[in-house]
Chain A
Amino acid sequence: DQQVKQNSPSLSVQEGRISILNCDYTNSMFDYFLWYKKYPAEGPTFLISISSIKDKNEDGRFTVFLNKSAKHLSLHIVPSQPGDSAVYFCAASGGEKLTFGTGTRLTIIP
């Protein structure tokens, strides 16, 4: 039973345009959400997070939006750059553990 779902296995975006990655969750006890980025042959690295008391958090080109009523969060990357090509994992926490989605492979087309 996947409590965190990333329904798009892959996404291709033109360089300079906006990339939008989506994530849905089912557990209403989740109150902290994170995005991780993963390059091949490396471990995931933390990108940005958001607490359930907020609906938006911004860090440079990266913005995460949280819609608690819809149990949905999204990561916006603007503008997209070739170095953003990676697998992005959404993760959720209701305590000490993180529950990860299956990831979305983002490809930025030059």
Chain B
Amino acid sequence: NAGVTQTPKFQVLKTGQSMTLQCAQDMNHEYMSWYRQDPGMGLRLIHYSVGAGITDQGEVPNGYNVSRSTTEDFPLRLLSAAPSQTSVYFCASSYGTENTEAFFGQGTRLTVV
């Protein structure tokens, strides 16, 4: 099992550009989520999905879109990048929607200039 795979590992964007962060898991997990990690602020939930075709907003959803067309994939789209979106992004997945261990991807370090 590869676990949770994120691409790319590093990315530099110009303000206003769009891009998609990819996330895939091979553990047949129903629940997937995206977090951003900023210094001193821990991990903050952006969007999550409890199964294919179902997505919902987390704590900080503005400026991001997601979709879940398959169980395996959960891409995160930045529509028009802003410097405030400079952060480290983590995708995570877990077996169920309640009270189970989250498995994280290796992270994407995004810089918006």
Binding between chains A and B:
no
User: Which residues of A are in contact with B by a Cβ distance under 8 Å?
Assistant: none
User: Which residues of B are in contact with A by a Cβ distance under 8 Å?
Assistant: none
